[in-house]
Amino acid sequence: MNAEHTAVGAYALGVLDDADAARFEEHLAGCPRCAAELDDLMGLTPLLGELQESTPDPEILTAAPRPELLDRLLQDVGAARRARRTRRLWLVAAAVVLIVAGPLVGAALTARDAPDHSSVSAAKEMYEEGDKKGAVDADTDVDATVSLQSKPWGTHVALKLAHVRGPLTCDLVAVGRNGQEQTVTTWAVPASGYGLPGAATKWGREPLYTHGGAAFNRADIARFEVRTLDGKRLATVPM
């Protein structure tokens, strides 16, 4: 076996003299095997550092490493310890984030994949809390009631809609006293419709609750119109 291959441990401990150390370093530059072994042996440097810190008399050591190598190894030990401590802190922080956010993330994924009944419930609650204005259109028989709440940004609007057959795509439009229009919210009416007493399904028999907002102040709104996206007016609610 090549003598340089057996010098890895001695070099790591710093017990080679200058000539032998120089020869080994020349060998190391072209020997991946020794480089890998030296990298593994560098894991022993924390033990050297702790031994130096805990030994009051350096003569107790049977082998005296070169001072410059030992200093370098001890610097590596300190850097490695700091790196390990930093990694541990990052891992702990990541674990805390997962522990705290995990239920929320899981809930969000579940909510994304499930029907959004909570938004319907929220719209119904908002509808119950506001001031209501309603009308039944004489031509279409569509029953529309808006529930209004004044906000610093304008007017919050919740809508209850019944007696409408689908399939349709509709929007609720706020018409200002100055003639300007703002779309409050848009939705689709399924084939089963909304709020139809003779509907085959429960959802068809239930009215639609939805909500949105307009930048108009409440006093500046002249009326609300329920329209299909192709321009047909289904109901008008005057203010």
Looking at residue 26, what is its pLDDT? 74
Tokens 């419930």, located at residue:
121
Ordered by where they begin, the domains of the chain are 3-82 (1.10.10), 119-238 (2.60.40)
Looking at residue 75, what is its pLDDT? 55
In whole angstroms, give the CA distance from residue 188 to residue 119: 15
What the block records as the tokens of 114 is 């499930």
Looking at residue 109, what is its pLDDT? 37
92, 105, 110, 201 from 95: Cα distances, Å: 5, 14, 22, 47
The pTM of the full predicted model, rounded to 2 decimals, is 0.51
In whole angstroms, give the CA distance from residue 119 to residue 75: 60
Looking at residue 156, what is its pLDDT? 95
Q: Which of 153, 147, 89 is CA-nearest to residue 123?
A: 147
In whole angstroms, give the CA distance from residue 121 to residue 209: 8
Type and span of the H or E element at 68: helix 67-113
Alpha helices in the chain (DSSP H): 8-13, 18-28, 32-41, 45-54, 67-113, 117-129, 202-205
Task: Tell how far CA 161 is from the center of its chain.
Answer: 35
Looking at residue 105, what is its pLDDT? 42
In whole angstroms, give the CA distance from residue 22 to residue 112: 66
Looking at residue 232, what is its pLDDT? 95
45, 53, 76 from 39: Cα distances, Å: 11, 23, 12
Average pLDDT, consecutive stretches of 10 residues, N- to C-terminus, the chain (239 residues): 61 71 72 68 52 47 48 52 49 43 43 43 88 95 96 95 94 96 94 88 88 95 96 96
Tokens 């909304």, located at residue:
194
Q: Strand, helix or coil at 201?
A: coil
